[in-house]
Amino acid sequence: MVLSPAAPAAACIPELDEAYEVCRVETERWAKTFYLGTLLMPPVKRRAIWAIYVWCRRTDELMDSPEAQALPVAELSERLDLWEARTRELFSGKIRDGLDRVMADVLERYPQPLMPYLEMIEGQRMDLAKHRYADFNELYQYCFRVAGTVGLMTQEVMGLDRAYTTAPWSERPDTSDAAVALGIANQLTNILRDVGEDRGRGRIYLPQEDLQRFNYSEDELLAGTLNDNWRALMRFQVQRAREWFARSEAGVRWLAPDARWPVWASLRLYRGILDAIERLNYDVFNHRAYVPKAGKLLDLPVSYLMAQSR
């Protein structure tokens, strides 16, 4: 259920531990692969990540929940305006409910700027009127706002290796580019996995220039046509997503030791969805690509070994 940003303050705000447990349950329910990676973190970090995930989910639901799909554009726009105002108030210390309480705790433990949160809301605003993307530059802006920002929200939680935190500021690595790259890679993967679902809502996120390049029409996409042109187009998109995953790998070695394993695990498991798309021979119209639970568990030791190397 979507909590309206215009709703009055709750009469009784839950205790911090109770509010974090709500976030844990929601993360486990809606983001199983992501949730598995968070379990590899120390408790205080995993709880922070759950809180940020739920805030992002609340933002997304303003546009993409079943309830939201039936609302006119003007009302959706108003909901986003109210959510932005509420987010600004959260950063100034105003708490209305359990989610606000855990987010306030996260911001106190891991100070971070407001900008990524406002950018994510702007990404939702793009979905109000923009349902096609001329080229990858346009799509990149959308992906940065709805997913690259998540990397910026979470990088302070992940933290830097002690060797860097004790170094002069001029020698400390900036993990922002790698964090954003992982968010971009994840969103590109989502787009490829959800092509069939998105077309049902009238949205095509694959760049128009790529459709033209591979001689695959929008009408064919809306009809779910599977042919050689579609497979060539999807091979190209999968390779692009893998390149963004590769960009993100460079920053993992800078992270605090207790963050490297979960980040490697999440990166590798989400990238595995691309392998699943290939195994489906790119039929994402009739099947949903996912990594089986057994595959996730088998990959954890590999991710652990990669996390030990610098």
Query: Residue 6: what pLDDT?
Result: 46
Would you state the pLDDT for residue 261?
95
Residues 248 and 228 in one domain: yes
The reply to whether 220 and 259 lie within a common domain is yes
Confidence band for 7, pLDDT divided at 50, 70 and 90: very low
Residues 69 and 142 in one domain: no
Number of domains in the chain: 2
Same domain, 162 and 150: yes
Let me know whether 124 and 82 are in one domain.
Answer: yes
Which pLDDT band, with edges at 50, 70 and 90, does 33 fall under? confident
| 221 part of a folded domain | yes
Which of 129-133, 161-165, 282-286, 296-300 shows the lowest mean pLDDT across its residues?
161-165
> Do 89 and 179 lie in a common domain?
no
pLDDT in tens, 108-118: 999 999 999 99
Whether 302 is covered by a domain: the verdict is: yes
pLDDT exceeds cutoff 70 at 29: yes
Q: Is residue 254 part of a domain?
A: yes
Assign residue 273 the CATH number of its domain.
1.10.600.10
Q: Which residue has the tokens 């105002």?
A: 85
Q: Are residues 118 and 229 in the same domain?
A: no
The answer to whether residue 39 is domain-embedded is yes
Same domain, 58 and 71: yes
CA distance linking residue 142 with residue 60, whole number of Å: 13
Percent of the chain beyond pLDDT 90?
Answer: 80
Q: What value does the mean pLDDT take over residues 173-194?
A: 95
pLDDT of the residue at 237: 98
Range of the domain at 162: 131-310
Judgement on whether residues 212 and 287 belong to the same structural domain of the protein: yes
Asked if 181 and 310 sit in the same domain, the reply is: yes
Residue 309 included in any domain: yes
Q: Are residues 83 and 148 in the same domain?
A: no
In sign, the C-alpha dihedral spanning 187, 1, 21, 83 is positive
Residue-level pLDDT at 2: 43
pLDDT at residue 170, rounded to an integer: 67
In-domain check, residue 4: no
Of the listed ranges 36-50, 158-172, 189-203, the least confidently predicted one is 158-172
User: What is the pLDDT confidence band of residue 12, given thresholds at 50, 70 and 90?
Assistant: confident
